[in-house]
Amino acid sequence: MLAQTEKKYSHLKEFIKGLNSVVVAFSAGVDSTLLLKVSHDVLGDKAIAITAMSPTYPEDEVIQAKQLAKQIGARLLLLKTNEFEKEEFLANTPQRCFFCKTELFSLLKKEASNLGFEHILYGANADDINDFRPGMQAAKQAHAIAPLLEVGLTKAEIRDISKNLGLPTWNKPSYACLASRIPYGIRITTDTLKKIESGEKLLRELGFMQCRLRYHGDIARIEVLVEDLPIILKPGVRTKIIEELKHQGFKYITIDIEGYRTGSMNPQNNQV
């Protein structure tokens, strides 16, 4: 690690040590896995993980969360969230993430209180402040803490530390909830999320680890890395994708020639 990264890592451990007891919102992603690892290293049984179970969160990720928590040695609780009972979430406005995270942090806060734990931690990092993330406002309202952000760790630095700690997530592709694949204004349904989940699972099985299936009604818009664009057009790969996605109910399958990029559905990224 670079000296600056090592210094931030030391600050992270000291910061978390000062919190005494924590509940970590654990998604099994790069950020929350490092956060859980350090929290458990520093606080032991005074750090536990809670993973939300929801149609917006793929089953494969729940399985990974269980495996990672076991590897780290941390206690893991699974908590069912109820955002699908909230019209504000289902309507899918640009503030969708705020309503979803408000539900999540409300339940985490209640669970932390029941367990006698003092703080809620989540995995925002220094790069996230430059993106459109209404969920961070929900975290602020719930007084949740983002230690990685507090000590100024970037995504690249988090991956570097994770690699040095032997965490298998160090090179895990970026992820986000399945609802982020649906354009704002299109109502969220469990059927739509299942189609997206199934389609992205297929893409990963075909070797496209960093990918998105963006939902546009009858149209599936596929994003893969620019260097993977020639691969997706290979006859066998292309045919498999067409067959499977049409079986899922899509009429048209398109490839986005801009390639994979985070937040392509966000308001500021949809302008020409």
Read out DSSP for 229-268? HHHHTSHHHHHHHHHHHHHTT-SEEEE-TT---TTTTSGG
Specify burial of residue 107 (Cβ count, 10 A radius: 0-12, 13-18, 19+).
middle
Q: Are strands 75-80 and 119-121 parallel, antiparallel or unpaired?
A: unpaired
Please give the radius of gyration of the chain, using alpha carbons only, rounded to the nearest integer: 19
pTM of the model: 0.91
Tell me how far apart the alpha carbons of residues 12 and 15 are, in angstroms, rounded to a whole number: 5
Q: pLDDT tens-digit profile of 94-135?
A: 999 999 999 999 999 999 999 999 999 999 999 998 878 888
Question: What is the CA angle 263-126-129, rounded to 5?
Answer: 50
CATH of 178-269, one of 3.30.1340, 1.10.700, 3.30.70, 3.40.50: 3.30.70
Q: What are the residue ranges spanned by the domains of the chain? A: 3-171, 178-269
Residue 123 to residues 63, 87, 104, 132: CA-CA distances in angstroms? 19, 27, 14, 16
Can you tell me the mean pLDDT for 78-87? 93
Confidence of residue 70 (pLDDT cuts 50, 70, 90): very high
Res 268: pLDDT: 45
DSSP reduced 3-state for 64:
helix
- Mean model confidence pLDDT for the chain: 93
Can you tell me the mean pLDDT for 27-43? 97
Q: Which residues contact 32 (CB under 8 A, 6 or more apart)?
A: 24, 25, 26, 122, 123
Tell me which fold the domain 3-171 belongs to.
Rossmann fold (3.40.50)
Tell me how far apart the alpha carbons of residues 126 and 163 are, in angstroms, rounded to a whole number: 19
Tell me how far apart the alpha carbons of residues 38 and 2 are, in angstroms, rounded to a whole number: 18
Q: pLDDT tens-digit profile of 137-158?
A: 999 999 999 999 999 999 999 9
Res 171: pLDDT: 95
Q: pLDDT tens-digit profile of 200-254?
A: 999 999 999 999 999 999 999 999 999 999 999 999 999 999 999 999 999 999 9
% of the chain surpassing 90 pLDDT: 90
Q: Are strands 219-224 and 211-216 parallel, antiparallel or unpaired?
A: antiparallel
Res 131: pLDDT: 76
- Given a contact cutoff of 8 angstroms between Cβ atoms, the answer to whether 225 and 210 are in contact is yes
Asked if the model's pLDDT at residue 174 lies above 90, the reply is no
Confidence of residue 2 (pLDDT cuts 50, 70, 90): confident
